[in-house]
Structure 1
């Protein structure tokens, strides 16, 4: 009888420890807190280190798919370097998102400059952000691709918490 009780207690302890570990693993629906540093071409372009960490819900598409998929199954304290191809980040560059707009169609009172970011609206009222790539005599060439489109992203991530 003592042997059966011992085995039952041992199994319960094992199940508890296994459940506890799974509860802290990153999985769908869990609230995850991470610190990260984002690099493009080995240059830091964003970081939460020394600032507020990033909090997101796993599986909710709050972060780019390539990063979210790579973090699945990690536990608090884990550190990982994740390389995300453009196709799993902000997409490849879409040539159709680079358009020429007549200068007289712009409402901006500022003098346009290459590199200037413009906020515009589509005919249906959707907000759009684009960057001036070229200035012609009567027109501007504006790129509406995400600034990180076409780029491979490298994240250095530390998992701070999982709830």
Structure 2
């Protein structure tokens, strides 16, 4: 019996550790030092731009990828910056730049928005992803790859 290494591809389940950092080296998220996480390619757990870079990797492989904004969290969109009337916020809320609120979206889900400016009349809220426009360093260590239909 040969020990065939299944590569990451469509239809596989992947067990991995990862870290996400900005170009300046500041870490945004990491699970190194903890148990591996698992996902099935295409299940929406990872952005497609991250998944595609892992294709061909197998158990034991570790790589660091530079992921441009177009393949990560996109470019900031000025249409995602909204000015809202100040009276939509409770009077007892102490507004400050960088404060994140959760707003209801059209589909009934929740959408985070960060206060980027405010005065007595309006509050300017940025609904862009906080990492929009940023190049991401994706460090990934693959522990196991198996056909997804085993689960």
- Please state which band the TM-score falls in when normalised by the shorter chain: 0.7 to 0.9
Say which structure is richer in strand.
2
The residue aligned with 2:84 is 101
The CA RMSD measured in Å over matched residues stands at: 1.8
Look up the SS of the partner of 2:19 in the other structure: strand
CA drift at 1:137: 2.1
Are 1:116 and 2:99 matched, yes or no? yes
State the Cα distance separating 1:123 from its structure 2 match. 5.1
CA distance in 1, matches of 2:7, 2:106: 45
Partner of 1:79: 62
In 2, Cα distance between the equivalents of 1:147 and 1:107?
A: 24
Q: 1:144 to 1:108 in 2, by over 3 A?
A: farther
Structure 1 position 107, deviation (Å): 4.6
Taking structure 1 as reference, are residues 28 and 147 closer, same or farther at Cα in structure 2, changes over 3 Å only? same
Kept in 2: contact 1:115–1:133 (CA 8 A): yes
CA distance in structure 1 between the partners assigned to 2:91 and 2:129 by the alignment: 21
Q: Does 2:81 correspond to 1:90?
A: no
Structure 2 unaligned segments of length 5 or more: list them.
147-151
- Name the residue aligned to 2:113: 130
Counterparts in 2 of 1:108 and 1:85: CA distance versus 1, 3 Å: farther
Q: Secondary structure at the match of 1:82?
A: strand
TM-score (structure 1 length as normaliser): 0.81
Aligned residues: 145
Higher relative contact order (CA 8 A, sep 6+): 2
| Larger gyration radius, structure 1 or structure 2 | 1
Determine the structure 2 residue equivalent to 1:45.
28
Structure 1: which 5+ runs fail to align?
1-15
Q: Is 1:145 the counterpart of 2:131 in the alignment? A: no
Q: CA deviation at 1:29?
A: 1.6
